[in-house]
Chains A and B, each alone.
Chain A
Amino acid sequence: MKFESTITQIQTDNIDTDQIIPARFLKTISKEGLGDQLFFDWRYNADGSPKPDFILNSDKAKASKVLLAGDNFGCGSSREHAPWALTQYGFQAVISTSFADIFKANSLKNRLLPLVVSREVHQQLRDALTANPDLTVNVNVETQIFAWPGGPEIQFEIDAFAKHCLLAGVDEIGYVQQHEAQIAAYEAQRFSTLNTLAN
Chain B
Amino acid sequence: MPSNPRTIIQKVWDNHIVAESEAAPALLFIDMHLVHEVTSPQAFAGLRQRGIKVRRPDLTFATVDHSTPTTPRNLPILDPIAATQVAQMETNAQEFGIPYFGFQNRDQGICHVIGPENGLTQPGMTLVCGDSHTATHGAFGALAFGIGTSEVEMVLATQCLLQKQSKSYEVRVDGTLKNGVTAKDIILALCAKIGIGGGTGCVFEFTGSAIRALSMEERMTVCNMSIEAGARAGLIAPDEKTYEYLAGRRFVPKGEKWDEAVAHWKTLPTDEGATYDHSVTIDADTLEPMITFGTNPGMGIAITGTVPDPANIADPLERESLRKALAYMALEAGKPLAGQKIDVVFIGSCTNSRLSDLRSAASVLKGRKVNSAVRVLVVPGSQEIKRQAEAEGLHDVFRAAGAEWREAGCSMCIAMNGDQLSPGQYSVSTSNRNFEGRQGKGGRTFLASPLTAAASAVMGVVTDVRTML
Contact = CB atoms under 8 A, between A and B. Distances in A.
Interface stretch (B80-88, B269-277, B334-342, B396-404): B80-88
B84 A41 contact: no
Interface string A141-166: 00000000000000000011100100
Given A182-B19, A197-B58, A16 B296 contact: yes
B157 A177 contact: yes
B81 A80 contact: no
Contact of B317 (A71, A98, A164): A71
B148 A70 contact: no
Interface in B105-138: 119-120, 122, 125, 130-132
Identify which of A23, A30, A110, A159 gathers the most chain B CB atoms within 10 Å of its CB. A23
Nearest to A174: B50
Contact of B162 (A98, A172, A182, A187): A172
Given A27-B82, A105-B148, A177-B158, A78 B41 contact: no
A19 B436 contact: yes
B305 interface: no
B27 A198 contact: no
Contacts of B59: 197
Contact of B147 (A19, A28, A102, A159): A102
Given A12-B324, A27-B38, A70 B317 contact: yes
B281 interface: no
A183 interface: yes
A78 B321 contact: no
Given A22-B437, A78-B146, A182-B19, A195 B151 contact: no
A124 B381 CA distance: 48
Given A23-B414, A75-B197, A183 B158 contact: yes
Interface string B219-233: 000000001001010
B251 A197 contact: yes
A49 interface: no
B180 interface: no
A12 B19 contact: no
A54 to B, nearest CB: 14
Nearest to B25: A161
Nearest to A42: B436
Contact of A182 (B27, B150, B196, B197): B27
A88 interface: no
Contact of A76 (B158, B159, B321, B435): B435
B24 interface: yes
A78 B39 contact: yes
Contact of B150 (A28, A29, A41, A106): A106
A22 to B, nearest CB: 6
A99 B230 CA distance: 10
B29 A16 contact: no
Contacts of A28: 81, 85
Interface residues of A, number: 58
B148 A78 contact: yes
A136 interface: no
A11 B317 contact: yes
Contacts of B159: 183, 187
A16 B318 CA distance: 15
B18 A186 contact: yes
Interface string A162-199: 00100000001101110100110011001000111111
Contact of B254 (A75, A161, A182, A198): A198
A98 B227 CA distance: 15
Given A75-B196, A101-B200, A197-B58, A16 B435 contact: yes
A195 B88 CA distance: 31
A179 B18 contact: yes
A61 B52 CA distance: 40
Contact of A102 (B79, B88, B122, B232): B232
Interface of A: 11-14, 16, 18-19, 22-24, 26-31, 41, 46, 70-72, 75-80, 83, 98-102, 105-106, 109-110, 159-161, 164, 172-173, 175-177, 179, 182-183, 186-187, 190, 194-199
30 contacts: A13-B318, A19-B435, A19-B437, A23-B415, A27-B416, A28-B81, A29-B41, A29-B45, A72-B200, A76-B433, A76-B435, A83-B148, A98-B200, A102-B132, A105-B147, A105-B148, A105-B151, A106-B149, A110-B150, A160-B23, A173-B46, A179-B19, A179-B158, A183-B18, A183-B27, A183-B29, A187-B159, A195-B253, A198-B119, A198-B251
